[in-house]
């Protein structure tokens, strides 16, 4: 039998690694200010939690989806730069389309895993929250207290704690 503190430690480290991987995979914000970086990070973390992952595999898929989606948007931005060579524009557009398809595939895989988990009875189907408040902004640095706060947060549309 696994000790609960050992399980919590492993889960905490998995989430910390996953979220730090997400932040490393995101394109740089157009503004180079710390505030712009913080807004980018907060939006990405909120997007992951909005997908309501319930275990490490779902967290990794949610992160893969968000990172790939953001990189596809960055490719489109680069393709739309003024004065870009038409060949480069086509390459960036093709790359964006490839990444968009990969993101969509990841989203379908995540949704399928969540449906199967709910069918197995691993958790009740989330019910819409009544008068749900938007989640508070995630912290900029993922120390132990910040990570625990993120993992214990309730998000709109979910009766589960993430």
152 pLDDT above the threshold of 60: no
Mean pLDDT, rounded, for 58-69 = 94
Domain ranges of the chain: 4-151
- Does the structure show a pLDDT above 70 at 18? yes
Q: What is the pLDDT of residues 34-62, one digit of tens each?
A: 999 999 999 999 999 999 998 888 999 99
Taking the C-alpha atoms of residue 121 and residue 105, their distance in angstroms, rounded to an integer, is 25
> pLDDT class for 140, splitting at 50, 70, 90?
very low
Dihedral sign for Cα 12, 154, 100, 82, please.
negative
Residue 156 is predicted with a pLDDT of 41
User: Does 127 have pLDDT greater than 80?
Assistant: no
pLDDT band at 87 (very low <50, low <70, confident <90, very high): very high
HSE value, Cβ hemisphere, 13 Å, CA-based, for 117: 18
Other CB atoms within a 10 A radius of the CB of residue 86 amount to 7
Mean predicted lDDT score pLDDT of the chain: 79
| Prediction pTM value | 0.70
Higher local confidence (pLDDT), 156 or 3: 3
Q: How many CB atoms lie within 10 A of CB 9?
A: 11
Q: Residue 128 pLDDT > 80, yes or no?
A: no
């Amino acid at each position: 039998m696994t000790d609960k503190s050992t399980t919590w430690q492993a889960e905490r480290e998995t989430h910390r690694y996953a979220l730090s991987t997400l932040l490393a995979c995101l394109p740089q914000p157009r503004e180079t200010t710390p505030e712009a970086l913080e807004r980018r990070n907060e939006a990405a973390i909120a997007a992951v939690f909005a997908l309501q992952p319930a275990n490490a595999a779902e967290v990794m898929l949610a992160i893969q989806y968000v990172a790939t989606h953001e990189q596809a948007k960055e490719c489109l931005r680069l393709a739309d730069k003024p004065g870009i060579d038409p060949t480069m524009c086509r390459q960036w557009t093709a790359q964006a389309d490839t990444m968009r398809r990969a993101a969509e595939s990841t989203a379908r895989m995540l949704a399928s895993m969540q449906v199967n988990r709910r069918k197995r009875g691993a958790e009740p189907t989330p019910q819409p929250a009544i008068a749900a408040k938007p989640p508070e902004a995630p912290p900029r640095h993922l120390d132990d207290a910040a990570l625990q706060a993120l993992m214990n947060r309730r998000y709109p549309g979910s009766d589960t704690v993430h």
